[in-house]
Structure 1
């Protein structure tokens, strides 16, 4: 990644948040006290219970969050937005409306995400299909085994919807162990079989973080062959991947912030520099090269995934899309986590309205 240093001014590509749940966020709303949850099912139940408690609209909460993200240098993001028979397409419509308010500074892809289950929550697949006509771009999925209890049934449904609508896929996969790796291999195999190389993403993929699993190397090779992207967020006590190992196997990785001050967690700043710092810390990045690599997951790699050429193929410090920071170099930027002094996209400087 080419940067420029003028005194302490550093120019970089725009940041990309490749995995965020903006409709769940309480950003700008009164403080939300969180409940303890012992497992994924309890986290989802807490989230489901909170959906109708917000006094602010989805559009207003998400607009405030998106404004904060752009001020922190995020120029593109992939938003996982809940759809279900209870919610209909309202959250997708709210997030799309918020995205339009932040154009032309922010590129937003929306994933139709079945947070509360797809097979286990009848009617969800129909709402997902409708959401793709109401502002969503990508077909989502969630733990085919751990949440749905039917790997092939769930994957048949989401791949089938993606085929019928001509869309890409982005599947949450929290399941660990060999069960998790089996699901990852099945997703990769279906990606190859359907000619979707480079068009499928797996979020979290915690099973890839366990270096003791016998089939890990085989799985990583298949993921690389399929061009499946892995989105990692470095949250709390969640597992984090060995980035060097994934890189050695040719697996492409992007970074995201996941939840930002939602029912799952009170944390999150809508800053991908903060997130790069956290991922770097949790993965033991010490050298300048390691710190720069982590930042690249939140810049050029994310731009490639989302198809944003001015980030993926950044033209350098003279580009009319750039961020400017008070930092000596990229390594210091990741460590010190400053906000950008200027956020410029296509020659226009962002200022809060």
Structure 2
């Protein structure tokens, strides 16, 4: 049975060109970039070239980029590192209720250390309100951290407007752009962003590598201690092969971005048109226009999400839910709860389809028709049992 992978927002396959670029740094150019001999110098040269290429693609200076083990470490470094370094200015942080757990749990850790965190609500599209951001700003606010594009429903936040709103405040602005990177143009040179987290494995790069952009002048306390790598900001031997792969992956993603955006919009249209034709009841979750093109989150009223995902998997379709599985039970997605409330059935029947490398129109047509059949079958079973 052919397996169709539509869970690219969770992780993405390594692009063949990225693998080819990485292999020499596992096999022959394997040196430690801190070593002064020729093998080490070769690794250092590759590291410097990759950093320069990434800086060019992000339109920032090289010294603003700190390599990390992924998006989680980048978020933790930005939030905990900045808070601890600047707590003399205040101990208040603003975030939202729909952030990735790498942000939410970092904020919860800071609360244990005496910081105060405001968790902004969102509207039914998953967007924060500018007025709420403005009302939450205080004299002791030191950090605002709001994600660029949501990993579950794809909603894009008004990042430009938020940055302009707090530009003249002492608070710095961090955004988790892990899901947005490579899918939309981040335009760092035009945005009032002080720190930004990204990860390679969402854009057909390797797992285990990410980076944190830190605007010049922003001071962050290290969260790892050891050597003096990354200008003493992040200890540990740099993952040269992965960094080289990261640069290649972002290059490929930006080159194909417009074409992929159009293709993914076509995929979403195929899914929704098929379900309408098959008379399947569904509701799209997230903003209709300000959204990441590769993410489509849909609720199928009356259908148990665990049963739906299991039946999709049996049909060879790999999709996911934003819900977390704990001790064998599905807990509602914190993102959907923030958008719609705890009581609505909508949060119990939501599935995320996310598109990426290798997906074809034929595959998506198959996903659409199989999903329609499964949803109708599960719905019929429910009616029969009741």
TM-score by length of 2: 0.29
TM-score by length of 1: 0.32
